[in-house]
Structure 1
Amino acid sequence: MNAGSLTVLVIAKEPVPGRVKTRLTPPYTPREAAALAEAALTDTLHTVLRVPARRRILVLDGTPGPWLPPGFEVVPQTSGGLDERIAAAFELCDAGPALLVGMDTPQFTADLLAEVGRDGYDAWFGPAADGGFWALGLTDPSRAGALVRGVPMSTDRTGALQRRRLTEAGLTVRDLPPLRDVDTAADAASVVAGCPPGSRFAAAMARLAEPVR
């Protein structure tokens, strides 16, 4: 299958102080946490631009800002739990493979997704260190409702339960490398070490580490 037929979905929240990355506060202020969220989201969007794809869709809770590069369709998130919102995001896709990523892994690179959509698998799964997942891909996105809805989200077993749902449906699953989400200050410090050169997230972390003059 041609990777150019791939649809990449980014599910994200507008980086507004007090609404994003609240687990980073403390030690960061709400404004600093939002700055880190914006940097992570911007890195993610620019990485997705380097992934060969037919469509790129930002599924957004909020309003686009200057951090949004050209090349994305922007669609509002639906209401409901995260499982409902993920399933609804896949419903935006046409025929052909689709991959969904979040905004919390600024260290991921386009190379990690190089074979998605063209390596003969039915699904792709990127586990997260906290027990969740950072990426989910399906050759047939119309099946997402049955595969995702009802999976308990934001638990330390979410990833295992979601992957089991895929295999129990008879899908062949390719595992992508595990990554760590940025949820806490400890996560941020760990993730920044693995960010590629030019990372906006790494630059934002460096600015926040500078002493106040």
Structure 2
Amino acid sequence: MSARTPVTLLVIAKEPVPGRVKTRLTPPYTPQEAAALAEAALADTLHTVLKAPARRRVLALDGTPGPWLPPGYDVVAQSSGGLDERIAAAFEHCDGPTLLVGMDTPHMTADMIAGVGRDGHDAWFGPAADGGFWALGLADPARAGALVRGVPMSTDRTGAIQRDRLTEAGLAVADLPVLRDVDTAADAVEAAARCARGSSFAAVLNSLAEVAR
């Protein structure tokens, strides 16, 4: 496989339905406000991915596409099961170097992911500040099942365990920047402050702050 093989960019996300997304934002936000923030974060993520070089872009979606989905994506349904199962299954829709990102980092930039698949590594790992991870890339996505299934998700050791899986498999791993997932209201404020100009997420958060005054 060529080190210059163009990458597939894979986004895994939930449809932003009130009561089903960003529940740790309530309170202080209502379920409708939390869903609005989730939709904005997802929209920002999808548009950022469009700015990064890729041969294909895929959205593994739990739910139904809405007006937040821009053109340029192949949409596939998420599988059932835990997050480890759903991540592994999402990689099955891809071939060649593939980078998976979530919808919780609207402050991700295209530059952060632009080198994936083009630098000769076997894997790419984006650690999250809470101990999880926001990005996982594999030069050979067919290995995702063995590398991801069984990793305990949503713990402060998830990222460390996942990265250990990669190195223990003998993969050369490139680390991406540490980012803070948007899980709590404090996370949302910090992410909005780091978002690029024109960010939907920052605009929605600022509008909610204005209403609360």
Matches for 1:89-128 after TM superposition, within 5 Å? 89-94=90-95, 96-128=96-128
- Structure 2 residue aligned with 1:195: 195
Instruction: Give me the whole-angstrom Cα distance separating, in 2, the residues matched to 1:121 and 1:73.
Output: 26
3-state secondary structure, aligned to 1:193 = helix
How big is each residue's C-alpha offset from its partner over 1:88-108, in whole Å with a ceiling of 9 and x where there is no partner?
A: 0111112x1000000000000
Task: Measure how far apart 1:190 and its partner are.
Answer: 1.2
- Structure 1 residue aligned with 2:147: 147
How big is each residue's C-alpha offset from its partner over 1:20-63, in whole Å with a ceiling of 9 and x where there is no partner?
A: 00000000000000000000000000000011111100000000
How big is each residue's C-alpha offset from its partner over 1:75-94, in whole Å with a ceiling of 9 and x where there is no partner?
A: 11000000000000111112
3-state secondary structure, aligned to 2:48 = helix
Uncovered stretches (5+) of structure 1, i.e. residues with no partner = none
- Structure 1 residue aligned with 2:72: 71
- Structure 2 residue aligned with 1:45: 46
Q: Which amino acid aligns with 1:175?
A: D
Q: Which amino acid aligns with 2:188?
A: A
- Structure 1 residue aligned with 2:211: 211
Q: Which amino acid aligns with 2:18?
A: P
Matches for 1:13-52 after TM superposition, within 5 Å? 13-52=14-53
Question: What is the TM-score of this pair, normalised by structure 2?
Answer: 0.97
Task: Measure how far apart 1:212 and its partner are.
Answer: 5.8
3-state secondary structure, aligned to 1:115 = coil
Task: Measure how far apart 1:2 and its partner are.
Answer: 2.7
3-state secondary structure, aligned to 1:80 = coil
Aligned residue pairs total: 211
3-state secondary structure, aligned to 1:136 = strand
- Structure 2 residue aligned with 1:80: 81
**Structure 1 segments (4+ residues) deviating >6 Å:** none
| Change in CA separation of 1:120 and 1:30 when aligned onto 2, cut-off 3 Å | same
How big is each residue's C-alpha offset from its partner over 1:148-174, in whole Å with a ceiling of 9 and x where there is no partner?
A: 000000100000000000000000101
Instruction: Give me the whole-angstrom Cα distance separating, in 2, the residues matched to 1:72 and 1:153.
Output: 26
Uncovered stretches (5+) of structure 2, i.e. residues with no partner = none
| Change in CA separation of 1:30 and 1:125 when aligned onto 2, cut-off 3 Å | same
- Structure 1 residue aligned with 2:176: 176
- Structure 1 residue aligned with 2:133: 133
Instruction: Give me the whole-angstrom Cα distance separating, in 1, the residues matched to 2:208 and 2:87.
Output: 32
Task: Measure how far apart 1:191 and its partner are.
Answer: 1.0
Q: CA RMSD in A?
A: 1.0
Task: Measure how far apart 1:186 and its partner are.
Answer: 0.8
Q: Which amino acid aligns with 2:158?
A: T
Instruction: Give me the whole-angstrom Cα distance separating, in 2, the residues matched to 1:2 and 1:164.
Output: 25
- Structure 2 residue aligned with 1:11: 12
Q: Which amino acid aligns with 2:44?
A: D
Whether the 8 Å contact between 2:4 and 2:120 is mirrored in structure 1 is no
Question: What is the TM-score of this pair, normalised by structure 1?
Answer: 0.97
Instruction: Give me the whole-angstrom Cα distance separating, in 1, the residues matched to 2:114 and 2:47.
Output: 15
